[in-house]
Chains A and B, each alone.
Chain A
Amino acid sequence: MSDTQYLAASTIEEAVNAHSKADGSARFLAGGTDLLVQIKSGIRKPNLVIDVKKIVELNSIEEISENEFVIGASVSGVNLNRNKKFSKLWPGVLEAFRLIGSEQIQGRASLGGNICNGSPAGDSVPALIAAGCMALIAGPNGKREIPIEEFHIGPGKTVLNNGEMLVSLKFPKREIHSSDTYLRMTPRTEMDIAVVGCGVNITFENNVCTAARVSLGAVAPTPLLIKEASKIMIGSDLNSEILDKVSKICMDSCDPIDDKRGTIDYRTKVAGVLFKRATLTTINRIKGN
């Protein structure tokens, strides 16, 4: 890393311009808990590291209208956790983000970094996909917005072009009778990488599901939105037959790898189990249990 330059950008324009000029050899730095490890181990050798933590849009938690949040890409787990209203509206997103690393890591690691790192097992991503977040991206050609489920195109690969940065995440306005849950399976109980992760986000009123999004992580090259699940769940009372049916769809959607942390069969089976548990937990959260 001896040739690396450091720039603390104060505006989006400054960061984007510097990144564009560096022609593919620059990296944005938020919490640094992935990037610095990658640089130290030689996996990445950026010529320029652009610190984005001083950019207001990236560092803020905003409620743009009642129950409608925009979270800056460099906001840390510790900071998001302090926003009591967000924690109440999106407990699944918060628990997914807070599962990442120790207190030391939580003090720095950012939501945007977890997304841009592009790991198929990144914990926050399935919860954000289930939440229905939009990714706000800025680049040399202006701004654009895409659904977060379209952000990843392969392990470590995202839709970001040269010069483009993730600015913030826009959450849909939170309706009443709604909640979300993120569950993951890890060999150890804490501070481990997900073998399977599952995010579920539901609106459930008078025993009828009126909105549902299900997402799975670590079971395919990218986190998945299980579109078929929404179709079956919406309009139903989420009885055990429905949950069995969707659980099967979750399992059929899996295309995982075999590795030391989990076999293909195991990951596939667990995906179905986690879907059911996350759904039941979410229903309980909505009912206030």
Chain B
Amino acid sequence: MAKIQVSTKINNENVEYLCEPHDTMLDVLRNQLELTGSKESCGSGDCGSCSIILDGELVCSCLMLAAEAEGSNLETIEGMSEGGKLHALQQKFLEKAALQCGICTPGFLMASKALLDHNPSPTETEVRFWLAGNLCRCTGYDKIVKAVLEVAEDMKETA
């Protein structure tokens, strides 16, 4: 069967790939493009560990066909740090120990980034609602929520 050719932009780089019609975006990211930061945990949109940002919106890459990415702009966890310097959220997650096993962390970071992109000064309630689509079985969420709130606070001070 003929493969589908897709031209898209991932982390500000033009990327072309061939995919099967049934490949999910997550399949292509991980298995073809070797961008294995996005994780597959549930594969059904419940856990958020495959979260990426598609044309500015937070989505589950497991619930998107790779063919749908034609002409889009994708951000994955691999594009979060710049020039070897961690993003403020990544740095704060480390400082606050907002992770344990780390499987959910890329998804949480992408979701947190999308939140702060849309709403730079969220309330705690807003953070908790926004991150409700990301499951973590280790941390109990408190440290993650606090890390995001602190980054928002830091951003205000430096703005």
Contact = CB atoms under 8 A, between A and B. Distances in A.
B22 A2 contact: yes
Given A33-B45, A78-B57, A104-B48, A4 B133 contact: no
B44 interface: yes
Given A33-B45, A78-B57, A101-B133, A6 B63 contact: no
Given A6-B21, A36-B24, A105 B60 contact: yes
Interface stretch (B64-72, B75-83, B92-100, B147-155): B64-72
B7 to A, nearest CB: 13
A49 B43 CA distance: 19
A101 B22 contact: no
B59 A102 contact: no
Contacts of A31: 63
B10 interface: no
Contact of B43 (A3, A5, A40): A40
A8 B111 CA distance: 28
Interface in A36-56: 36-37, 39-41, 49, 51, 53
A58 to B, nearest CB: 14
A146 interface: no
Interface in A146-177: none
Nearest to A108: B59
Nearest to B52: A104
A32 interface: yes
A54 to B, nearest CB: 9
B4 A6 contact: yes
Contacts of A13: none
Interface residues of A, number: 30
A157 to B, nearest CB: 23
Contact of B58 (A29, A32, A41, A104): A104
Given A101-B133, A103-B130, A191-B132, A108 B64 contact: yes
Interface residues of B, number: 31
A104 B65 CA distance: 15
B29 interface: no
A208 interface: no
B54 interface: yes
A4 B59 CA distance: 23
Given A101-B45, A102-B133, A103-B130, A1 B22 contact: yes
B63 A33 contact: yes
Interface centre among A1, A41, A107 (most CB of B within 10 A): A107
A186 to B, nearest CB: 13
A39 B20 CA distance: 15
Contacts of B48: 102, 104
Interface string A178-215: 00000000000011000000000000000000000000
A33 to B, nearest CB: 5
Contacts of B67: 6, 8, 51
Given A104-B48, A104-B51, A51 B58 contact: no
A107 B59 contact: yes
A8 B45 contact: no
Given A4-B21, A191-B132, A103 B45 contact: no
B21 to A, nearest CB: 4
Interface string B126-139: 00011011100000
30 contacts: A5-B1, A6-B4, A6-B21, A6-B67, A8-B70, A29-B68, A32-B65, A33-B45, A36-B45, A36-B65, A40-B44, A41-B44, A53-B68, A78-B57, A102-B133, A102-B134, A103-B58, A103-B130, A103-B132, A104-B45, A104-B51, A104-B63, A104-B111, A104-B133, A105-B133, A107-B58, A107-B59, A108-B57, A108-B64, A191-B133
A-B residue pairs, 4 tightest by C-beta: A102-B133, A6-B21, A107-B57, A1-B22
